[in-house]
Amino acid sequence: MGRIQLKNVTKTFGETQVIPPLDLTIEDGEFAVFVGPSGCGKSTLLRMIAGLEDCTSGDILIDDAVVTEVPPSKRGLAMVFQTYALYPHMTVRKNIAFPMRMAGISEAEQNTKIEAAAKALNLTDYLDRKPGQLSGGQRQRVAIGRAIVRDPTAFLFDEPLSNLDAALRVGMRLEISEMHNRLQTTMIYVTHDQVEAMTMADKIVVLRAGNIEQVGSPLELYRNPRNMFVAGFIGSPKMNFIEGEEASKHGAATLGVRPEHIEVSGTDGVWTGTVGVAEHLGSDTFFHIHGTGLADTLTVRAPGEIELHHGDTIHLTPREDRIHKFGADGLRL
């Protein structure tokens, strides 16, 4: 079991309130991702669940038991840090064995679990090396290995991939997702990368300045963002926002149209503009369009290879059923 509840939790550093009163439930076995721009309080929230930060008020419950005052070592959670936080004076084997040794698990059982974890994480050949002799990806695997062997109630990940290069990040992302499918243990994952959030999460929690802006599955957030912040944060490239006359025509203060929901033509369309930059990726073509009179730049993602280049006139047609309307307060209409 691993059901985690936050009830009216707040956090204040001195005079500054970083987490205003907040309620959240993460169900057993769920992969929840906290996402938001830097400084939004997502890491603080994770550290509060871990017990590394105190709650100023409110309660944290794990499997319906209040753990607010329980020290991190007694919460039964495992955490993977951004900086890996391996013990530099111990070999990989000893690093992985450490939590089991602290829990008083027999040496024979420790070894069985180490071998299994090392095999699953491709670390078998590195067990006798020190962390300093490993690459970033291998170090992160050791950190994950150290978390797995404890059979924790839940895994907490604090931006675990942000120190890795792009290619490695994609690989590790898949490994963590596969690990979740295999173990079916609750995981809470903090990231500022919305792609990681979209690809891994069962449930995304979008945070801004300590407030939960929206909670939902990746596609719920993509399809029905509650406000302009979520709309702009989820999805890549970012949603286009159009104000002024065009918005008023639709009875809104702002219109939101995702780049992939605009059709492109060289001959006719609702809107007309000039191609500023065209990025030809083969599978897709990204256009950055000026002079539409709607916004400084409109971004459009068209499938396939489209032979329009810098300076060409381009005609655009938004998909009416995918236009998002927002009021003057930024909320969805």
Partner 1 sequence: MAIVAHSSRAGRISRTTLAWLVALLFFFPIFWMVLTSFKTDADAVKPEFLFFFTPTLENYTNMTENYDYWRFATNSVITSVFATAFTLFVGIPAAYAMAFNPSRHTKDVLMWMLSTKMLPAAAVLYPMTFLTKNFLGIFDTHFLLILVLSLINLPIAIWMLFTYFKEIPKEIIEAAQMDGVTTWGEVKEILIPLAWGGIASTALLIFIFCWNEAYWTVRLTTTDAATLSKLIEGNRAPEGLFFGRLSAVSAAAVGPIIVLGWFCQKQLVQGLTFGAVK
Which residues of this protein are in contact with partner 1, per CB under 8 A? 50-52, 71-74, 77-79, 81-83, 85-89, 98-99, 102-103, 143, 146, 150
Query: DSSP of 30-55, one letter per residue?
Result: -EEEEE-STTSSHHHHHHHHHTSS--
In the complex with partner 1, the residue whose CB is nearer, 79 or 172, is: 79
The minimum distance between CB 177 and partner 1, in angstroms, equals 22
The C-alpha atoms of residue 98 and residue 110 are separated, in whole angstroms, by 9
Residue among 93 and 258 whose Cβ is closer to partner 1: 93
Helix or strand or coil: residue 245?
helix
The minimum distance between CB 174 and partner 1, in angstroms, equals 24
> Shortest gap between Cβ of 131 and partner 1 (angstroms)?
10
Nearer to partner 1 (CB atom), residue 49 or residue 253: 49
The nearest distance, CB 209 to partner 1, in angstroms, is 24
Nearest residue (CB) to partner 1, 77 versus 255: 77
Tell me the closest approach of the beta carbon of residue 79 to partner 1, in angstroms.
5
Cα angle 288, 293, 299; round to 5: 20
Closest to 254 in 3D by CA, of 235, 240, 241: 241
Residue 332 CB, shortest distance to partner 1, in Å, is 39
Answer whether 235's CB lies under 8 Å from 222's CB: yes
CA atoms of 159 and 191, how far apart (whole Å)? 5
Longest CA–CA separation in the chain, Å: 74
Least distance to partner 1, CB of residue 202, Å: 23
Q: Cβ closer to partner 1: 105 or 120?
A: 105
Question: Is there a cis peptide before residue 237, judged by omega within 30 degrees of 0?
Answer: yes
**CA–centroid distance for 44 within its chain:** 15
Nearest by Cα to 57 from 33, 22, 31, 88: 22
Q: DSSP of 193-235, one letter per residue?
A: -HHHHHHH-SEEEEEETTEEEEEE-HHHHHHS-SBHHHHHHSS
Q: Which amino acid is at 304?
A: G
The CB-of-157 to partner 1 minimum distance in angstroms stands at: 12
CA distances from 272 to 136, 253, 276, 307, 315 (A): 48, 21, 13, 17, 5
Other beta carbons within 10 angstroms of residue 14's beta carbon come to 5
- Closer of 9 and 46 to partner 1 (Cβ): 46
Q: Which is nearer to partner 1, 63 or 263 (CB)?
A: 63
User: Whose Cβ is closer to partner 1: residue 32's or residue 96's?
Assistant: 96
